[in-house]
Amino acid sequence: MIPIKSERDLKVMRKACSVAATVLDRLCKVAREGVSTLEIDMAAKKIMSELSCRSACYHYRGPDSRYPGYVCISVNDQVIHGIGTADRILKSGDIVSMDVSVVYQGFVGDNTRTVFIGEVAPETRKLVEATDIALHKGIAAARAGNRVGDISAAIQAYVESCGYGIVEEFTGHGVGRHMHEEPQIPNYGKAGTGPLLRAGMTLAIEPMITMGSPEIFVGEDGWTVYTSDGKPSCHIEHTVLVTDAEPEILTIPMQD
C-alpha cells in the first residue's frame, strides 16, 4: 500500500521537508576545502537541534550495524552512505554529496545535494549537472495517472543519453511517517509499468549516477558504497508531492 497523505499530514510533511532542505542548505556552506567530513556531520547534528528536528539516519538499522552518523557524506568515488570521519579532509577537486533525512513532528523530509570543493574538473562538473537534470526529468514524470516506471524511464533515458552509469542496487522511495515507504523508485525501468501514481503521494526521487561502470561495493565500515572502478559518482535527491497538476518539490529551504 502506498500511503496517500491527507491535507493535515501534508501540512506537517511540507514543514518537515523545508526543514530538511534548510539543514542541507546550511551544510553546503560548511563543506569547504580543509574541513573534515566529521566536522560536517557534527555541524548537521547542531543545525538539526537548532531547527527542532532529528536525524532519520542516526542509528538507522542496517544488516549488521546501526548507522553511526547524522547525515550521509559521500566524496568522489563514494556513491552513498558515507560516514563522516576526522581523517577525511575535503580538498580542491572533490565532489561531496550530503544526504539529509530529518524527522520533524513525526514526518520525514529527505534530500541530497552534491557540491563542488574548489576547482573541480570539467568532466566531473558535467556528471553533477547531468545528475541534476536526470532528477528533474524524473520529477517531471511524477504526475497523477503516470506510473512509477515513468519516473524511472525518464531518469534512465537522460542518463544513458549522456553515457553515464546508473546504480541499480539502491532506489528512491516513498517517504512520510517513515524514511522508507512504498513504492521503491528505481532509476531505470520501463515507462507505463509499476504502481500508479496518485495525488497525495510523497516520493523521494534520487538518481545515483556514475561516470564509469555502475558496479559498486560496500566498504569495510559496512555502510559506505563505492564505485568498483574508483571513478566519481553523484547523488542528488528531492522529496516531491504528486498532485493533480504539476509535481511539487517539497524540499525547498525556508527563507531566512
Residue 240's nearest CA partner among 171, 114, 140 is 140
Distance in Å, CB of 55 to ligand MF3, minimum: 8
Least Å from the CB of residue 72 to ligand MF3: 5
Q: Which of 99, 130, 143, 159 binds ligand MF3 (CB under 6 A)?
A: 99
Q: From the list 97, 101, 131, 156, which residue makes contact with ligand MF3 (rule: CB under 6 A)?
A: 101
Q: Do residues 118 and 93 lie in contact, with contact meaning Cβ atoms separated by under 8 Å?
A: yes
Residue 118 CB, nearest approach to Co ion (Å): 28
Q: Is the peptide bond before 183 cis (omega within 30 degrees of 0)?
A: yes
Amino acid letter, residue 190: K
Residue 81 in contact with ligand MF3, rule: CB under 6 A = yes
* Positions that interact with Co ion (CB under 5 A): 110, 204, 206
Based on the shown chain and the rule CB under 6 A, indicate whether residue 137 belongs to the binding site for ligand MF3: no
Can you tell me the distance from the alpha carbon of 91 to that of 112, in angstroms, rounded to the nearest whole number?
Answer: 20
List, as one string, the DSSP characters of 140-157. Answer: HT--TTSBHHHHHHHHHH
If the CB atoms of residues 81 and 120 are measured against ligand MF3, the closer one turns out to be 81
Report CA torsion sign: 9, 172, 61, 31: negative
Which of the choices Co ion, ligand MF3, none does residue 60 contact, using the CB cut-off of 5 to 8 A by kind?
ligand MF3
Please tell me whether residue 181 binds ligand MF3 under the rule CB under 6 A: no
H-helix or E-strand containing 210?
strand 208-210
Binding mask 192-211 for ligand MF3 (x = CB under 6 A): ------------x-x-----
CB 187 within 8 A of CB 200: no
Q: What residue 153 binds from Co ion, ligand MF3, none (CB within 5 to 8 A, per partner kind)?
A: none
Match 542541507 to its residue by C-alpha cell. 24
CB of 66 to ligand MF3, least distance (A): 8
Told to check if 57 binds ligand MF3 by CB under 6 A, we report yes
Q: Which of residues 215-254 bind ligand MF3 (CB under 6 A)?
A: 237
Whole-angstrom distance, CA of residue 41 vs CA of residue 162: 32
Q: At what angle do helices 148-162 and 122-140 cross, to 10 degrees?
A: 160
Check if the beta carbon of residue 176 is closer than 8 Å to that of residue 107.
yes
Count the site residues for ligand MF3 by CB under 6 A.
Answer: 11
Distance of closest approach, residue 208 Cβ to Co ion, in angstroms: 10
Residues that bind ligand MF3 (CB under 6 A): 57, 60, 67, 72, 81, 99, 101, 110, 204, 206, 237
